Structures are given as C-alpha cells and as structure tokens.
Structure 1
Amino acid sequence: MMDIQIAIQQLMDQQKPFSFSSNENHLMQEYTKFYGLDFPQVEHLYGYISCCNEQIFLQSFRPIEPRGTVLLLHGYLEHVGVLKHAIRFLLEHSYQVLTFDWPGHGLSSGKRATVNQFSDYLCVFESIYKEIVPSLTDSRVHVIAHSTGGAVVVDYMLNHSPDFDRVVLIAPLVRSYMWHASKIGFYLGNRWIKEVQRVTRNIHQEYANFIQMDPLQNHKVPLIWVQALFDWYKKVQSATPSNQELLIIQGDQDRTVDWKYNIRFFQEKFPKSHIEIIQSGRHQLFNDTKSTVVQTLGYIHGYLSK
C-alpha cells in the first residue's frame, strides 16, 4: 500500500481539475480509504477548481437517488477528511454531499492555516455556492457548517438574502475560548511571535490520537489568522439582525469557542434561531463520544426533515 503522505503530496502536486465524471484513480483511492470516505454505491466526483486566487479541492458524494443536497463545511485547522461520520450519515439518509477544503487546509492551496482576512474564506464560499454548486445539483441546498465554517456562513447570511433551504451551525465560531485573555496575549506578544502551537484541549481521546497521525492536520496557529479573527469579530458586531432561520448545535463542554457568549450573539443577530445544547458535548461534535455524535446527527436529521 502506498504511504498516505506520498499519495497526498502527489494529489496536491498534480492538481487535477474537478471532473464531472467519476474517475477514481489510485491516489484518490488511498485518500478515501485512509479517511474513511470510500462509501459503497456512491458516485464520488473530485478535483481542483480555481477560486479566489487559490486552487480549492472540491468533492461531491452522490447516492443513487438523492432527496436533497447538503453543502458541508469544515472548521479551522482541519479538512474534509475529518467529516466522515457526518458524510456517511447524510448519504445514508439520501443526501448528496458537496464539500471542500478551505484555503490553507487539506488538499487546497494556500499558506497553511492562515488568511489575511476572513473575507478570503467568504470569497471561496460565495464563489462555490453561486458558480459551482448549481452545476452539481438541481435541488435547493442545505448548509451544515462547523466552527470557522459557521463563521463564514454567518457572515454571508448577515450580508445577503441567501436561498439556502436549511442552515445548521455546529459549535460556530464568533468569539474563541478565553477571548479577553487571548487578546491580551496577542497584543503583548505579536511583535516577536509569528505563530503558536495548536492546543487540542478537551477532545475525545480517539480523535486526539487521529489528529497526531493525520498528515493533513495543521498544528500551528499563525497570529495573522488571529488578527483576521479579531477584525472579523468587529465587523459582525455592527451587522443588522437577520430574520433568517437556522439551527445551532452546541456542546456545553466546548473549550475552543466562547459558546455562552456566542449563543447570546445568535439570539440577537438571528432571533428565529433554534438552539440545541448537548450535555457533555465538546467542540468536535462530529468526532466526540458515540452518544454525542448520534445526538448531533439526530438533531440535524430532524431539522432537515421538517
């Protein structure tokens, strides 16, 4: 078997354009096997698209008779490969899944784990949603976004009138954990420190072990990204509240985002939002204990089925 790091590097070097016909080569087979994305009786399309000055790696998983389409977005420092439980669940319930790696993440191009401003993420999301998604599905699209992916969707919803069907945010980012202490540390140290070590606090041990062996994980947080988060936070504070409906699923043991503040933010900016709190749930609700993952996916299924 080819080493997964070699397969990943060759996929990134080749940057084969996105294909609208199924053509699973041996490199992609290594990737899908390693990340548990090799689903039976599913049409898998994949490849690179030029988008916002980056090469974005896009994937489509389509069951035999899809009942709808979900645009699924991962969080910061991660990539599509960590979403296998969510993708499998959605396929089992006959949803086509469209998903991609953010710039600087996974198989996409870009300086690792950083952007100069969050509008770079927004550019990619808007381009894919408006220009690529319509060519892959005829149905209206549900959006499910985790953490930083949720921040991007929130920004889009507060500044547009999107025609999403349903929107689900999983542990969405607005303010990060220990927000005020983080800001003090940032302004004291950013002249001399360019990046800090990723802190994997309070996550399920099995997932923590996986992170250590996953070649596509990012283990450093550039302070340029932290500044971009602070700038984005200021921007969304002044946004006009939206009457759009969404579901927020949040764990009460999250030590990555400032979830109590974030819930208040959503209640103010999205008065029609529905909130589900998962007892003992941490930030990685798609990669937590089995009971937490099942509960998270159950809330999603119930909301999409309304």
Structure 2
Amino acid sequence: MKKRIYILLFIYLGCVFHLYAFDNNDKMAILENMPSYLQTGNSAISKELRTYLDNFYLPYEKTTYRYGFISTDYGHLFVQSFQPKKPKAVVAVSHGYLEHSAWTFQLTNFLINENYIVVLYDHYGHGFSDGTPGHIDEFTQYGYGFSKVIDTVYPLWKDLPFVAIGHSLGGATIIQYTLSQKHSPLKGIVLAAPLVRSYLWGPSAAAVNIFDSVVNRIPRRFSYRKELIDKGKNDPLQTKTMPLTWMEALVEWDSWNDTYPTTDIPTLLLQGAKDTVVDSEYNYSWIKKHYTDLKYQRYEDADHLLFLESDELQEQIFIDIKHFLNDLLEE
C-alpha cells in the first residue's frame, strides 16, 4: 500500500512540476539506438531511456532490466523485462489500444513486488514498435506478435511457470493466442476488461461504413483519472487518434471469431460494471463459451481502466489477481 502511495505522489508531482519529462527528442534518441532485446542489460541504459523509465515509474534499478527490438514478419516489436532477485514465475503483460506498455506501471510494480518477472511489449503501431499509429491490417496480427514475444522470452526462463495478463486489446490478443496455439507454455491467463466487441457494437460497426469515405481517423477520448490526463496527452508514445481501418479489422475478426475452439486453460476474467469501452455482457458470454475453466470478478464501481483505478478499487483488483496467481502456482 505504501508503494502505491509513493507512486501516486510521484504522478502528482510529475504533473505539477514536470519531473522526469519524457519528450519526443527522448523517444527519437531511444529509437535511433534501439538494440536487440536479447543483447541488453542494465549497463546499456542511456540517459534518454532512463528518462522514459523514470517518467513511467518503471523499477529498472532494483531489477535486471532488458529492453530492445525483436524481429517479426510485420516489423519490430519493442520488448522490455524486469527480473527481481528471486523470481517465482514470469508474467507477460499485453496492454490496451492506443496506449503502450509503460502505462501498465502500477500492475508492473505490483507484480515485481510479488517476485514475478514482468515482460512488457508494445503492440504494432504503438509505443516504440513498428507500424502506422493505431493501425493493423488484420486483427490476428496482434496474437501473432504476442506469440513472437513468448517465443523470444520463454528460453530465458523456461524453468519457471508462465502466465499472461491482458487489458482490453491486450485481452483480445491473449484470447487469439490461447485459442489458436496447440502448444503454449502459459499456465493461466488474466483477462481485464478484454475486447471481443466494443461498447454499442451495432452502431459502432455501422458507423465505420458510413464515415469511412469521409474521414480516416477520429479523435481519441482520454479517460484517465484527473491526475493522469495531462500525462497521457503529453506522452509522445501515445496515439492521439483512431484510424477507422482499425475498427474495420475488428469487425472482420468479429465475423468469424466465434469459430475458435474451447480451451481449459485457467482464466480469470475481470470486468468493471461502469465500462463504456467494451461490451462487457456480450464479451462475458463469449468468453464463458470458449474458456471452460473460468473465474469471474465484477467490480460495481470500476470503469474500463482496471489497472489505473482509484486506490481502494486498485488494491482489490490486485488482491484478486494475487490470489489467482497463487492458486495457479500451487497446482
């Protein structure tokens, strides 16, 4: 709890006094000198990279930190990992749409304090990764990208259990991976407000056909807590508009994703009752049909950003994740 208070204090001070200001110059310097993920360690941290890590309260100093690109068929993906001294398992985290992996900082700090190795990566078209901002040609490319991340990091820690946590688009990504992989090292998954269909699905899908010939992108709505809104708007790695081609790819995926097989991988589904980003009722029924070993937690006062919630809610969400992970490791 004290750790969370310190992090929130840093957020407030950072917004007021612009501490650890991470800007586009830092972004470009990191990209220009980006190494391969497998070739880095703490000694390779540049001034600009340190600014990025400090800006997002990522605990590189007390962990073994790796970062860099991995190569895939659709471009490079940015991957970073944080290894505590006595890890008990590996958690791969998949972030939400229009954000990037560093915005999972509260979840990352929580997991590291629980002695988990945390693997973060940026989706195609997000953060430091290659791709047109916010765009994807085919929705299943997200699942493919996640598979390449797992293929890269699994040999490093193959003697430890592997778990995945995905929020929103990250949840859809893990759904694609777990329902299409015949052999996976994952022992269990956590889906936090996962995307299967978006909120108001019918009108949203219809609007794509109406507006596609008029506009290419629509402005993004920032729905962070008050103290994080400016941080999000000023983040050079955030995508500020949504291309309609992304929604077209989601609609195309929706047209056939019900044909996925079922899986018995242990799954924890977390959902906020006040979520107006995803269609939580439809998504719950869809996931319940495809995941036969499912636990469900619904939070009446929670919105969509389950890993950036108010203190009391955030603590309860992390407790539920902790119990689920503990049960997995005891099996």
TM-score by length of 2: 0.88
In structure 2, the partner of 1:94 is 115
Following superposition, the deviation at residue 200 of structure 1 comes to 3.2
Measured on the aligned residues, the alpha-carbon RMSD in Å equals 1.7
> Which has the higher mean CA deviation after the structures are superposed, 254-263 or 242-251?
242-251
SS at match of 2:253: helix
Output the CA distance in 1 between the equivalents of 2:88 and 2:59: 21
| Equivalent in 263, 271, 277 of residue 250 of structure 1 | 271
Q: Verify: 1:81 aligned to 2:102, yes or no.
A: yes
Whether the 8 Å contact between 2:108 and 2:118 is mirrored in structure 1 is: yes
SS at match of 1:55: strand
Following superposition, the deviation at residue 244 of structure 1 comes to 2.5
Q: Verify: 1:57 aligned to 2:78, yes or no.
A: yes
Equivalences for residues 4-153 of structure 1 within 5 A? 4-18=23-37, 19-23=39-43, 24-153=45-174
Following superposition, the deviation at residue 270 of structure 1 comes to 1.4
**Distance of aligned partners of 1:35 and 1:107 in 2 relative to their CA distance in 1, 3 Å threshold:** same
In structure 2, the partner of 1:260 is 281
Instruction: For 1:170, give the aligned amino acid.
Output: A
Output the CA distance in 2 between the equivalents of 1:280 and 1:7: 37
| Equivalent in 205, 208, 212 of residue 226 of structure 2 | 205
In structure 2, the partner of 1:274 is 295
Following superposition, the deviation at residue 106 of structure 1 comes to 0.7
Instruction: For 1:9, give the aligned amino acid.
Output: M
Once the two structures are superposed, what CA deviation does each residue of 1:240-283 show, in whole Å capped at 9, x if it has no partner?
22233200011101111011111111111113211100121111
SS at match of 1:166: strand
Output the CA distance in 2 between the equivalents of 1:45 and 1:297: 25
Q: Where does the alignment leave 5 or more consecutive residues of structure 2 unmatched?
A: 1-19
In structure 1, the partner of 2:16 is none
> Which has the higher mean CA deviation after the structures are superposed, 43-52 or 132-141?
132-141
Whether the 8 Å contact between 2:216 and 2:243 is mirrored in structure 1 is: yes
Displaced runs of 4+ in structure 1, greater than 4 A? none
Instruction: For 2:41, give the aligned amino acid.
Output: S
SS at match of 1:305: helix
Whether the 8 Å contact between 2:26 and 2:52 is mirrored in structure 1 is: yes
| Equivalent in 188, 196, 200 of residue 210 of structure 2 | 188
Once the two structures are superposed, what CA deviation does each residue of 1:162-207 show, in whole Å capped at 9, x if it has no partner?
2311210111000001111111211111122211111235x42223
> Which has the higher mean CA deviation after the structures are superposed, 174-183 or 184-193?
184-193
Whether the 8 Å contact between 2:205 and 2:247 is mirrored in structure 1 is: no
In structure 2, the partner of 1:165 is 187
Output the CA distance in 1 between the equivalents of 2:56 and 2:21: 14
